[in-house]
């Protein structure tokens, strides 16, 4: 069983007024076979956690550890983190002009595996992944995310997830901007990934609607850079009814 372990994580970003601390001591453990949902209001540090794990240079870890099966993730380069089995689906997927989806993903797969997948096999696997997500196979020949709608970009992220098949998937607000049909398709893709049984998911979201389709084992409420409360799927249902007010009020007085 693989384990992604986060302990006393403090993260800052540089601003015009100096360093600003965003994460203020996060403790979180995700094991293979588990789906964790992180919920919280805007500015609570959810995306900061995702990008810090992935190695975004803007986010400076000042204290704490992130380990994958006991190995220091923070000491790894970004590409080494990917090879170790970490995957980040971004809230705002970037466009990559001049690089086709197929070439981009085959290059990524080659870097992960140390050898290029056979072309005929790769074309078949990519076609199957696009079919499962309701995407025309022509998307494989288009430049990465260039001219894609918001929903197409998110589906493309899940196609990447399924083809690269990491050990842990960090999904940063994958549900944002999706209509109900796209939300169902994307959720089905995440469920196919987690159904392997030895994969972990860290799902970041504002809303409970995606959790109607992706059932979390654990829910963590982020407020002011900390985990304010954690529990099972029932916690998400309570948040739907009550909102975050009591957490934000408690954080403002602490």
Average pLDDT for 187-191: 96
Cα(169)–Cα(248) distance, rounded to whole angstroms? 28
3-state SS assignment for residue 139: helix
Q: What is the pLDDT of residue 112?
A: 92
Average pLDDT for 203-216: 93
Cα(139)–Cα(76) distance, rounded to whole angstroms? 33
Cα(239)–Cα(242) distance, rounded to whole angstroms? 5
% of the chain exceeding 90 in pLDDT: 84
Residue 191 makes CB contacts below 8 A (sequence gap 6+) with 213, 214
Cα distances from 193 to residues 61, 157, 159, in angstroms, run 30, 13, 10
Count CA within 13 A, CB hemisphere, residue 20: 12
Contact assessment for residue 69 and residue 3, using Cβ atoms and an 8 Å cutoff: yes
Q: Is the pLDDT at 252 greater than 80, yes or no?
A: no
119-157: per-residue pLDDT in tens? Answer: 999 999 999 999 999 999 999 999 999 999 999 999 999
Phi–psi pair at 47, nearest 5 degrees: -70, -30
Q: Is the pLDDT at 28 greater than 90, yes or no?
A: yes
Contact assessment for residue 190 and residue 171, using Cβ atoms and an 8 Å cutoff: yes
Contact assessment for residue 30 and residue 1, using Cβ atoms and an 8 Å cutoff: no
Tokens 């995700």 — which residue? 30
Q: What is the pLDDT of residue 206?
A: 86
Confidence of residue 248 (pLDDT cuts 50, 70, 90): confident
Supply the mean pLDDT for the chain. Answer: 94
DSSP code per residue over 111-129: HHHSSPPPHHHHHHHHHHH
Confidence of residue 30 (pLDDT cuts 50, 70, 90): very high
3-state SS assignment for residue 195: coil
Q: Is the pLDDT at 58 greater than 80, yes or no?
A: yes
User: Hey, what's the torsion of the CAs at 71, 77, 79, 80, to 10 degrees?
Assistant: -20
Contact assessment for residue 143 and residue 62, using Cβ atoms and an 8 Å cutoff: no
Q: What is the pLDDT of residue 135?
A: 93
- Give helix then strand counts, H and E, for the chain: 8, 12
What CATH number belongs to 3-253?
3.40.50.300
Q: Is the pLDDT at 173 greater than 80, yes or no?
A: yes
Q: Is the pLDDT at 254 greater than 70, yes or no?
A: no
230-245: per-residue pLDDT in tens? Answer: 999 999 999 988 888 8
Cα(220)–Cα(239) distance, rounded to whole angstroms? 11
Pairing of strands 35-39, 200-205: parallel
């Amino acid at each position: 069983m693989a384990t992604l372990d986060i302990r006393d994580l403090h993260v800052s970003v540089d601003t015009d007024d100096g360093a600003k601390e965003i994460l203020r001591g996060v403790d979180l453990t995700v094991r293979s076979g588990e789906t964790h949902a992180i919920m919280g209001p805007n500015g609570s540090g959810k995306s900061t956690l995702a990008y810090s794990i992935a190695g975004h240079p803007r986010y400076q870890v000042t204290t704490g550890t992130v380990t994958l099966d006991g190995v220091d993730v923070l000491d790894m380069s970004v590409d080494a983190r990917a090879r170790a089995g970490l995957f980040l689906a971004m809230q705002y997927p970037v466009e990559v002009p001049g690089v086709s989806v197929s070439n981009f993903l085959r290059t990524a797969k080659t870097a992960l595996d140390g050898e290029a997948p056979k072309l005929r096999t790769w074309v078949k696997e990519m076609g199957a992944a696009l079919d499962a997500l309701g995407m025309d196979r022509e998307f494989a020949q288009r430049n990465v995310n260039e001219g894609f709608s918001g929903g197409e970009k998110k589906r493309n992220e899940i196609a990447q997830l399924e083809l690269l098949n990491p050990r842990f998937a960090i999904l940063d607000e994958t549900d944002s901007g999706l209509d109900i049909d796209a939300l169902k398709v994307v959720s089905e893709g995440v469920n196919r990934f987690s159904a392997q049984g030895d994969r972990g998911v860290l799902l970041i979201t504002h809303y409970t609607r995606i959790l109607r389709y992706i059932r979390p084992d654990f829910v963590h409420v982020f407020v002011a850079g900390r985990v304010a409360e954690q529990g099972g799927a029932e916690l998400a249902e309570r948040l739907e009814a009550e909102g975050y007010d009591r957490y934000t009020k408690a954080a403002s007085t602490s």
